[in-house]
Amino acid sequence: MTSQILFSALQLGALTLPNRIIMPSLTRMRAGPRNTPTALNAEYYAQRATAGLILTEATAISEQGRGYPDMPGAYTAEQVAGWRLVTDAVHAAGGRIGLQMVHHGRWSHSSYNSDGSLPVAPSAIAAPGVAYRPDFSQTTYEVPRALDAAELPGIVESFRDAARNAMLAGFDSVEVHGANGFLLDQFLQDGSNQRTDAYGGTIENRTRLLLETLAAVAGEVGADRVGVRLAPHGNLGGLSDSDTVTHFNHIIGALNGRGLAYLHLVEPRASSAGIGDNASVDSANNAQLFRRRFAGPMLTAGAYTPAMAVDTVTAGLADAVAFGRMFIANPDLVERIRIDAPLNTFDRSTSYGGGAHGYTDYPSLSPLARAG
Ligand SMILES: Cc1cc2nc3c(=O)[nH]c(=O)nc-3n(C[C@H](O)[C@H](O)[C@H](O)COP(=O)(O)O)c2cc1C
């Protein structure tokens, strides 16, 4: 297989990427105390600096926005200093890195809030499944508290503050997490959004919070440093929509004309890939369905092999392809794709939590193998 097309440069807004092989956001639950990135996190990201662009693991925009143990945040000066270790290490290794910003919404638990308050959501509907508490113990999800419309400007401001902090920490870009079952996705999809105010009901209303967030973040850092991740047909966190194609045609169309750096779509075949063992297979192909709806650069993710990535970029269905589990297991994935070398196997058991094992100790190719 020739992977040459993946090695042509790509302009994503203000960023020039040397290749089209993206490391997407990958939650690893290995931040230090007070949700602060550490030197170990810096080493992990720097090992992967040959990616065209690294996107960090989902990072909480506020205390209320948390939902996984030992996930990093971007809402304190200490966290900004921790992230500075990471961005400096990635830049020293020649890479580019964007911060993925998340509010977990209902996919959280009261044990994350210092006042013990319930998680918040568009509507008071619990996520299915099992929640992690901050100490990694498990429990069921609570019925969240439906956000009052008067609280939503505060959520938007938290995204704006996190974007400002990202720039202070030295990030090249930010990605607004509108996918995979978290708060903004909970507003977009009507299974979880049953509001009757200006943020629910019609698809225009359900898209409002996402667009307000993007406008605030772009106003802070410049639209050409802002990407957005969406997952049409995504069912993570128990989300569902009554008319996905029609509704996401609207949502994606509404992203045009804003000068965003990129749209990042997750394919439904990867819907359960991040969390459970039962990858849900869905015949819908988001790149095919929605690529033409968005006028700017598009990234795609979801169980891609390098050969599929070549086909997808060649067909013009995306400008770059993200490889999640392969990047966890192969710090030098870019080089391995370039020379068509065998890949290390991903070890699911070390995905979440723990230390260096399964994190910074996946081997790179030896110099001899690279030469061969
Ligand atoms: C361990 C793990 C953690 C993940 N964490 C995130 C995350 O924090 N944010 C996000 O948007 N997607 C997350 N994902 C989804 C990946 O970004 C990617 O879309 C998915 O793994 C499909 O790509 P792959 O099949 O190449 O792994 C995660 C996936 C895995 C396997």
In 3D, which of 178, 180, 301, 194 has the Cα closest to residue 239?
Answer: 180
**pLDDT (tens place) for every residue of the chain, 372 residues total:** 799 999 999 999 999 999 999 999 999 999 999 999 999 999 999 999 999 999 999 999 999 999 999 999 999 999 999 999 999 999 999 999 999 999 999 999 999 999 999 999 999 999 999 999 999 999 999 999 999 999 999 999 999 999 999 999 999 999 999 999 999 999 999 999 999 999 999 999 999 999 999 999 999 999 999 999 999 999 999 999 999 999 999 999 999 999 999 999 999 986 554 433 334 445 689 999 999 999 999 999 999 999 999 999 999 999 999 999 999 999 999 999 999 999 999 999 999 999 999 999 999 998 777 766
CB 41 within 8 A of CB 8: no
26 lines ligand 1 (CB under 6 A): yes
How many domains, in total, are found in the chain?
1
226: tokens are: 């802002």
Q: Does the pTM exceed 0.85?
A: yes
Asked if 132 contacts 138 with a C-beta cutoff of 8 angstroms, the reply is yes
Q: Give me ligand 1 centre to Cα 272, in Å.
A: 9
Smallest CA separation from ligand 1 atom 30, residue: 274
Q: Which amino acid is at 60?
A: A
Half-sphere exposure of 54 (CA within 13 A, CB side): 31
DSSP three-state, residue 213: helix
Q: First vs last Cα of the chain: how many Å apart? A: 16
Q: Which long-range contacts (CB under 8 A, 24 or more apart) does 351-358 make?
A: 351/28, 352/27, 352/28, 352/29, 352/68, 353/28, 353/29, 353/30, 353/69, 353/70, 353/136, 354/30, 355/30, 355/40, 356/40
Answer yes or no: is the C-beta of 325 below 6 A from any ligand 1 atom.
Answer: yes
Whether residue 303 has its Cβ less than 6 Å from ligand 1:
yes
Residue 367 has what pLDDT? 78
Tokens read off for 223? 């639209």
CB-based contact 331:47 (threshold 8 Å): yes
* Torsion angles phi and psi, residue 187, rounded to 5: -75, -35
> What local confidence, expressed as pLDDT, does residue 279 receive?
42
Condensed to tens digits (0 to 9), the pLDDT of residues 41-66 reads 999 999 999 999 999 999 999 999 99
Q: What is the CATH number of the domain that holds 108?
A: 3.20.20.70
Residue-range definition of the domain harbouring residue 282: 4-371
Reported as a single tens digit per residue, the pLDDT across 70-121 is 999 999 999 999 999 999 999 999 999 999 999 999 999 999 999 999 999 9
Beta strand residue intervals within the chain, DSSP E: 10-12, 15-17, 21-23, 53-55, 59-60, 97-102, 120-121, 130-132, 138-140, 145-146, 173-178, 226-230, 262-266, 298-301, 320-322
Our mutation pick for probing the ligand 1 site, out of 41, 180, 346, 362, counting the most ligand atoms within 8 A of Cβ, is 180
> Using CB atoms within 10 A of its CB, is residue 142 exposed (0-12), middle (13-18) or buried (19+)?
middle
The answer, yes or no, to whether any atom of ligand 1 lies below 6 A from the CB of 323, is yes
Cβ contact 165:35 at 8 Å: no
237 lines ligand 1 (CB under 6 A): no
* Closest atom of ligand 1 to CA, residue 348: 1
Q: How far is the CA of 324 from the centre of ligand 1 (A)?
A: 5
- The CB of 29 under 6 Å from ligand 1? The reply is no
Residue 28: the pLDDT is: 98
